[in-house]
Amino acid sequence: MTPSPDRTAPAAATDKVTCDTYSDMLTILHNTDYSFYHNAIGPQERTGWYDLAFRVIGRAPSVGDGPVATALAALKQVHPPMSTSASTQDPTSVAWGKASLALAAACEAEGHQAGATGFVGG
């Protein structure tokens, strides 16, 4: 579970937690899509994992208005957490991809690595 933002913590500490949480979301999405496209899971399971990924990023802490906080807010606007309805963007859309890359770039610019870890498929 992602910790609640500590309003007294320096923005850099909160940004690290945000970037780590973003990496967790990317890991869920990567492994979900790998499993889906290799017929290991079906559409219902994929949607369930996507919902989990969006809950994870929805709980990412954000303090201030620095680059990481700004990029996180933009990502949340593209796809509201816990919503995979047809009316919202999915993580394979262009808008989601741009917002996700912006958050990755903001994390990197602040000295925090972000990325997915693959662990399914052998």
The structure's pTM equals: 0.82
Average pLDDT, the chain: 84
pLDDT surpasses 50 at 60: yes
Instruction: Extract the tokens encoding 88.
Output: 């919202």
Q: How confident is the model at residue 78 (pLDDT cuts 50, 70, 90)?
A: confident
Identify the residue with better confidence: 51 or 24.
Answer: 24
Over 60: is that where the pLDDT of 8 sits? no
Give the pLDDT confidence score for residue 92 in this predicted structure: 63
- Residue 86 confidence (pLDDT): 53
**What does the pLDDT look like over 82-110, one tens digit per residue?**
455 554 556 667 888 899 999 999 999 99
User: Could you tell me which of 52, 43, 51, 49 has the C-alpha nearest to residue 1?
Assistant: 52
pLDDT by residue (tens digit) across 30-49? 999 899 999 999 988 988 89
What Å distances lie between residue 14 and 1, 60, 111, CA to CA? Answer: 15, 9, 13
